[in-house]
Structures are given as C-alpha cells and as structure tokens.
Amino acid sequence: MHSSSPSINAWLLPLEPYLNERDLIECSVIKPGELRLEKSEGGFSSIATPDLDLNYWETLCHVLANHWGLNFDRITQPRLSVMLPAGHRFEAMLGSNVESKLSISIRMRRHLKLSLKDYGLNREQEQMIASLIKEGANILISGGTSSGKTTFMNVLIQAIPQDKRILVLEDTRELNIPHENHVHYMVSRNEKNPTLDYPQMIDHLMRSRPDIILMGELSIANAYPISRLLNSGHAGFMCTLHANSCDAALSWAIPQNIAFSGHEAKGVKEFLYEAVDLVIQLHRNDFGQRQVNKILFPKKNKTIKVSR
C-alpha cells in the first residue's frame, strides 16, 4: 500500500501490518490506542496500539486531506472521506461530535473474483439479471451496512457489453470498470461548497451521450438528482443504497433522502415503481455470507425470494 507521496507512506507505515492481514474486511477505531479488525470469517478482534493515539490519527487526517486537496479541521471540518493508496475507503470523524473524540473506519478493497452464483442465485436468475443489464435496465442494489452492495455491483458491471459507453460518478472511488470506453467522475463529499455538485455533474453526464450511468451510494446530496435522472428517459443506471427491503428502497430510502435535501418527495414512491426495473436486496446470512435475499420487479410488482 504505497503512494507517490512520501508523507502519506510514512504516516501509513504503522498501519501496514494490520491492513495487510489476510481476509481483513474492515479496520475500525472507536477510541485512541486500539484497533478493531473484522475478518471475512466473522467477528471483531481488538488489538492494543498505544502508538496510534489521537495525535496520530489527527495528523494522518491532515496529511490525507492535504494530498486530496480537501479541508480538515477537528473543530470546523471534523469529517473526512477519502481513498487510501491501495483503494481502501477511509472514513474519519474527530472532535466533539464523537464522545471518544475519534471514530475511524477503513473499509478494505478486496480483490475477489466473484460471480452471481456466489450470491446464491441459480442459473435462471443469473441469466435474467445479465439480460436486463444488457437491455439497459435501471437497477438499484439495496442492503444493510456491510452487506456487500458495492462488491455485488462490481460483479454486475462485468455483464455490461464491452461496446457500451459508461459514465461513472462517485464521491469515493470504489467501482471497477473494465470497459475501455468509460469516464470516471468524482464529487467531493467533504467540501461544503464544491466547484461542481451532484446536480451539475449529472447534468453534464446527461449531455455526454452515455449508454450506462453508474453511481456510488445514494445519499442526501444525490437522491434528488438521481430521481431527475430516472425521470429523464435515460435507460441504463445502477447505484447502491441502504435499505432493509426492496420496497423500503423505493418507498422510504430514496424519498426520505430527497426530503432531507429540502425537496418535495410527494409521489416519488409511485414514480420509482414506474422508473426502476429491478431492485436487488442483499443481506448477510447466519454464516456471515453475503447473499441476494430478494429481487423485486417494481413495474410488475413481482418479488422473487432467493435466500433466507
């Protein structure tokens, strides 16, 4: 895990032994001097790390923010969301908003060779999803925290025909696009007044002749622009979102984020049931495996149960 920045390399060096551990899913910090490691077999382990004190984490945040051209200050700008050199997602909040003055989450970018079959789908279901992707369906990938939504979306991306023009918009770079004809755009979630925000970026995407538009995770900042995109007549869209069920994704998650952004959310649920072709719900089963739980076809109001 090395960067072109010597300063970043130096400050990440104490973390390397832990981040290089096999099968690591997430490294988190809930108080200074302790790391919590989650591995793929399930469960957390705590490790005492006295050298990784509050000063270490605050300095690391400043170094990372400077590298990415962002503002960070534990009083005026206490949150930071960036990508580490190896592609791991780094999320931090310091200061008075956290009782322990510190909260860090490092979500590991894992290079897994997965297929739809690995998510509990049968051959017919695999072919059905792949066919809809090739036809330019609008697809939402829903699930709880750490249910594998982004990893699953990266599997779906492999089914997009190679001759399609793909435009990608994220605030943290997590999607892997193997297609030659693609452009990756970034929007900052740290800046209060970014040069280009989600509405402006999506407007640019719509004017750039996309076949497929891929976005990262649904948020307050992008929920309303996404609804406008789905209402534009464009076919071929995918994003992830947090919701406990397929119906909640359409009737609660998106409308609520639109309302939180200050826009009117009346009628959004009904509109989404007409605009979205497929909602795929993920969960973690009793063995800690990330599986497809249900598939909803909103336009037909039809649900397929895949796994428990």
Q: What is the pLDDT of residue 3?
A: 60
Using one digit for the tens of pLDDT, what is the confidence trace for 91-126? 999 999 999 999 999 988 876 678 899 999 999 999
DSSP 8-state assignment for residue 300: T
**Whole-angstrom Cα distance, residue 70 to residue 101?**
21
**Residue that has been written with the tokens 């023009």 in this structure:** 165
CA distances from 207 to 66, 165, 188, 198 (A): 32, 13, 21, 14
Contact between 282 and 119 (Cβ < 8 Å): yes
Using one digit for the tens of pLDDT, what is the confidence trace for 234-279? 899 999 999 999 999 999 999 999 999 999 999 999 999 999 999 9
What's the pTM value of the predicted model, to 2 decimals?
A: 0.81
Given 3.20.20.70, 3.40.50.300, 3.40.1710.10, 2.30.30.40, which CATH number is that of 116-305? 3.40.50.300
**Whole-angstrom Cα distance, residue 86 to residue 67?**
15
Using one digit for the tens of pLDDT, what is the confidence trace for 184-212? 998 876 666 567 889 999 999 999 999 99
CATH of domain 6-107: 3.30.450.90
Spans of all domains in the chain: 6-107, 116-305
3-state helix, strand, coil in the chain (%, to 5): 30, 25, 45
